[in-house]
Amino acid sequence: MASPPTRPAQETPEPHPALHPSVTNVPVTPGVHLAGHSAYIEPELAHDTNLPFDPDQVTPGPQWNANSYFAPKEDDRAGSPTEVAAGARTSEELLRRLSKIPDPLAKHDLADVDPRAAHPGLNLSGRVISATFAVPYNIGYNPGNDWELKSRRGTSALFDSFSYLASASSPWNHVLVGWTGEIREPPSAAATAAPTQVNKAAAPIPVDARAVPPSPPQAGGMRIGREDRERLEKQLERDHGGKIVPVWLADEWDEEKKVAVIKDQHRWRRYAEHELYTLFHYKQNEPADGRAARKSWADYYLLNRLFADRIMEIYQPGDIVMVHDYHLLLLPSLLRSRHSTIYVGFFLHVPFPSSEFYRCLSRRKEILEGVLGANMVGFQSYSYSRHFSSCCTRILGFDSSSAGVDAYGAHVAVDVFPIGINAASTQRQAFGDPTIEDKIKGIRELYAGKKIIVGRDRLDSVRGVAQKLQAFEIFLERYPDWVGKVVLIQVTSPSNVQEDQEDDDDNKFVNKIADLVARINGTYGSLSYTPVQHFPQYLSREEYFALLRVADVGLITSVRDGMNTTSLEYVICQKDNHGPLILSEFSGTAGSLAGALHINPWDLGGVASAIEEALNMPQDKCDEQHAELYKHVIANNVQAWTNNFLRRLMTNLSSFDQSFATPALDKTKVLLQYRKAKKRLFMFDYDGTLTPIVRDPQAAIPSDRVIRTLKTLASDPNNAVWIISGRDQKFLDEWMGSISELGLSAEHGSFMRHPRCDDWENLTETTDMSWQPEVMKVFEQYTERTPGAHIERKKIALTWHYRRADPVFGVHQARECQKTLENSVAKKFDVEVMTGKANLEVRPRFVNKGEIAKRLVEGYGDKPEDAPEFVLCLGDDFTDEDMFRSLRQSGLPKDNVFSVTVGASSKQTLASWHLVEPSDVISVISLLNGSADAGNVGAVAAVEGSIPESRL
């Protein structure tokens, strides 16, 4: 087979000026050999996988980044203070060594030592399952051989948390579940395959700007057999301590050969990083025709569903599942739908926007419903938690407070947990490496006589790099005395989020940064002075810590950020210098680091003033601010964050009864069972289920979409569709009678009209109705006293409506009326007084919807093989509980029955599933009718294995 033609040399694009080798090949620290400790190496080459501890001395644990919870063998194993103090040369070193000895009298929370003993009622297994988007490794595939594992960059604080949970210091057993990430192809394929597509702004450093672009990969994709997949799973557990369970996301599966075919690996990131990450950081994409978003949403749904499947394979009762970040927002609900009493905590590491912005998200309801499957939801700052609760109320209609959200029959706690770093490890690394001392010396010689301001950010627009440069320009203009005396060292490393932007947008952002740097240096620089030193590159660990230690000022100007760990690491590295920290108020760290100088990055003049204040700050004030910051960072480390989150989760689980939680309806499960069944029964309430509740009951008429959807459903000969309502015969005939295939039941089961029949059957002909005059008299008395109330007289029941009355007075009058009736009529006749949505109804006791549901199920026959294979029953108020109770007692297989309560109420119900509003009911019916609209496309893709092209 002939090799594919290469592009002509003249078509090779010119590199961006900021990415020219003459710029990118200059190290931050002078004297660093490019082949050794270069900051310009590719991410997968930045770290090796050697364990940073002696296996002879400690139990091997996971090594996912530079930080480790396992001390070197010569460090902390002295048996007494005398042994620890031996060899200390200064009083500071002596205090530092003694501080590492655990105090035998120190009091610890029992939940941090023995969680099962602290919460015996939870029946904990002692294991935590952490679900994160990708495992902590960049994985390379070599068929038939061991996999190549390189440490993954980014989210170091999160990886530190996993490392702590897997260590002997934690009371928990730990399992990490994550996607394999984009698997690198074997060397033979990599030689001809194009590199993974990434955002130019995110990765501005080409390996060789003059190289001819490689040919695209073959269409067949990467094929990974079962033996190789099992080898990776064993290798992860064998070589890297903590148990890691990979999630395999394949484009196709060769079931016969058990082979996973992997083609477009970036598809699994697309929705989260193009839609969610963008909007959560208060940005919006350009409008499109919706096809791409539709496909990416289906992939996002499939991703979360595959995670749920993988977790349930290893789940044991009593496990706690911790779900992390915006890639897995649907996972809590999917887990809840599989195991209604599972313990789930969710933590969002990025900002959560205000309701005004969040409402712009097309799949806004599904995202909130997904998160509310958790028992507790955690955020970085109070404002994010407040925004989330507000969205649940404004969009879903759930009651919420600062403590949480009442949803699906349970209380979902909402709390704030600012994440920390592994402070001890960071300090050990920053101050324990002689190489760092050499780099610090080189930086100080290079910038002798100048104050050093350090900024280190990801290269994307939310990090505020452009605002930082513009503010620094204003600073030099306002305070000309500082020209020649201060330098800004700005390092912009590639983003770990691929936003899938257009090339022009990428270049515009890179151009803007390059132009700002050039303008500032051209205006205020000279042959001997360059005010801005901009390095668009990765940093080695040594260079990074050297910069943070040598800095006089730390400058962070992110315009939206979750938790900026650079600020925390800066505080640790400044334990000797005590340099001020300037921190954006929009960073998730701002609420925790009160000792920093808080700035609004959009107020460029204010940032410039803060720079001047920091540079001129008296030393005693610097010492005071740093002491406060340092104390906070040391105390609130990642270990404390992990323990606090789990401790609060267990407290909430013990405080609130979760046994009545009703998960959101699993559309995929419904569709699968519907397609398998041949005998199907549908039972729908009317008001609040098929149509919204309105102030005037006579105005609750069905929309054209409702009529068309029901008619399509009822036209299938395998479907028996019934509307079981409290409405009278006249209303149902007028609005639903045109659908001849539809069965109708009026007045809560008093009357029935069978499909393709015009006559109504009266099920209460022999009933004593002599109670009605006495009830009418009571209703008339309360109608006169309650403006806006009215009486509805049905053939069997009498109903008193107060929806138009004053809400508070109407409820009060209804209670008084109910008491009057229960103490009079209800004691003399076999009737019951029923409270509905803004109404009271009196009817014979034996008349209820449950009797109709029982009659319809029994109508299929007595034998098990005659029973309906699919039952979908939906209702919104307490009168529908009779139907749910009847279905529970019917003896039908549990997987064949879907009883669904409808509404935003957090009521406890006998239903097994929950939908929020009538529009969701119509969407589910449309799904069964074959519609694959945007909200249903994920379920269709999960069942059919492909994404429908139609947008209908």
Residue-level pLDDT at 187: 58
Residue-level pLDDT at 239: 62
Residue-level pLDDT at 899: 97
Q: How far is CA 475 from CA 462, 469, 704, in A?
A: 22, 10, 63
Question: Measured between alpha carbons, how far is 89 from 92 in angstroms, rounded to an integer?
Answer: 9
Task: Dump pLDDT digits (tens) for 463-491.
Answer: 889 999 999 999 999 999 999 999 999 99
Residue-level pLDDT at 539: 84
CATH superfamily of 667-763+847-951: HAD superfamily/HAD-like (3.40.50.1000)
Helices (H), 14-142: 21-24, 81-85, 91-98, 110-113, 115-118
Provide the CATH number for the domain formed by 423-636 in this structure: 3.40.50.2000
Q: How far is CA 240 from CA 60, 63, 176, 552, in A?
A: 7, 7, 12, 39
- The side-by-side arrangement of strands in the sheet containing 404-407 is 243-247, 173-179, 127-134, 320-324, 343-347, 376-379, 410-416, 404-407, 400-401
Could you tell me the fold of the domain covering 127-184+221-263+301-416? Rossmann fold (3.40.50)
Q: What is the 3-state secondary structure (H, E, C) of 547-602?
A: HHHHCCEEEECCCCCCCCHHHHHHHHHCCCCCCCEEEECCCCCCCCCCCCEEECCC
Residue-level pLDDT at 642: 95
Sign of dihedral through CA atoms 9, 10, 12, 17? Answer: positive
- The side-by-side arrangement of strands in the sheet containing 913-915 is 761-762, 751-753, 743-746, 719-724, 680-684, 870-875, 897-902, 913-915
Domains 127-184+221-263+301-416 and 667-763+847-951 share a fold: yes
With a CB cutoff of 8 Å and minimum separation 6, the contacts of 725 are: 685, 686, 687, 732, 744, 745, 746, 748
Burial 932-947 (b: 16+ CB within 10 A, else e): bebbbbbbbbbbeeeb
Q: What is the 3-state secondary structure (H, E, C) of 286-312?
A: CCCCCHHHHHHHHHHHHHHHHHHHHHH
Q: What are phi and psi of 801, to 5 degrees?
A: -100, 135
Question: Measured between alpha carbons, how far is 329 from 225 in angstroms, rounded to an integer?
Answer: 30
Beta strand ranges found along 29-170 (DSSP E): 127-134, 137-140, 148-151
Q: Where are the domains of the chain?
A: 127-184+221-263+301-416, 423-636, 667-763+847-951, 770-844
Taking the CA atoms of residue 941, residue 947, residue 948 and residue 949 in that order, the dihedral angle to the nearest 10 degrees is 160
Question: Measured between alpha carbons, how far is 744 from 484 in angstroms, rounded to an integer?
Answer: 86
Q: At 183, which amino acid appears?
A: I
The answer to whether the CB of 429 falls within 8 A of the CB of 423 is no
**DSSP bridge pairs for 320:** 128, 343
Q: At 550, which amino acid appears?
A: V
Element (H, E) at 451: strand 451-458
With a CB cutoff of 8 Å and minimum separation 6, the contacts of 454 are: 488, 489, 491, 547, 548, 550, 551, 553, 554, 555, 570
The mean predicted confidence, pLDDT, of the chain is 83
Q: How far is CA 155 from CA 60, 151, 655, in A?
A: 22, 12, 32
The answer to whether the CB of 52 falls within 8 A of the CB of 151 is no
The answer to whether the CB of 174 falls within 8 A of the CB of 128 is yes
Mapped onto helix, strand or coil, the DSSP state of residue 834 is strand
Element (H, E) at 236: helix 226-239
Question: Measured between alpha carbons, how far is 164 from 324 in angstroms, rounded to an integer?
Answer: 16
Residue-level pLDDT at 643: 95
Give the pair of three-digit tokens for residue 361.
């998200």
Burial 827-850 (b: 16+ CB within 10 A, else e): eebebbbbebbbbbbbbbeebbbb
Mapped onto helix, strand or coil, the DSSP state of residue 833 is strand
| Residue in this structure with the two tokens 């002596």, named with its chain if needed | 94
Q: How far is CA 404 from CA 325, 645, 662, in A?
A: 19, 15, 17
Task: Dump pLDDT digits (tens) for 767-795.
Answer: 788 899 999 999 999 999 999 999 998 88
Question: Measured between alpha carbons, how far is 774 from 608 in angstroms, rounded to an integer?
Answer: 81
Sign of dihedral through CA atoms 15, 16, 19, 20? Answer: positive
Please indicate, yes or no, whether the overall pTM of this predicted structure exceeds 0.85: no
Question: Measured between alpha carbons, how far is 372 from 413 in angstroms, rounded to an integer?
Answer: 9
- Split the chain (952 residues) into runs of 10 and give each run's mean pLDDT: 40 43 41 31 32 34 42 38 48 46 52 88 95 92 88 78 90 94 70 44 42 48 90 81 87 83 91 92 84 91 96 96 97 94 95 93 94 95 93 92 88 93 92 92 92 89 89 95 94 66 62 91 92 89 93 93 88 94 90 91 95 95 94 93 95 84 92 96 95 83 94 96 93 92 91 92 82 93 94 88 91 94 90 87 85 92 89 92 93 94 82 93 94 85 81 53
Residue-level pLDDT at 156: 75
Going by the DSSP 8-state scheme, the letter that residue 8 receives in this structure is: P
Residue-level pLDDT at 113: 86
Rg value, the chain, Cα: 33
Vertex 468, ends 466 and 472: CA angle to 5°?
A: 120
Taking the CA atoms of residue 380, residue 385, residue 391 and residue 396 in that order, the dihedral angle to the nearest 10 degrees is 110
**DSSP bridge pairs for 887:** none
Question: Measured between alpha carbons, how far is 133 from 323 in angstroms, rounded to an integer?
Answer: 9
Tell me how crowded residue 442 is: count the other CB atoms within 10 A of its CB. 18
Provide the CATH number for the domain formed by 770-844 in this structure: 3.30.70.1020
The answer to whether the CB of 165 falls within 8 A of the CB of 208 is no
Counting beta carbons within 10 angstroms of the beta carbon of residue 360, is it exposed (0 to 12), middle (13 to 18) or buried (19 or more)? exposed
The HSE-up count of residue 666 (CA atoms within 13 Å, CB side) is 29
Give the pair of three-digit tokens for residue 608.
């410039």
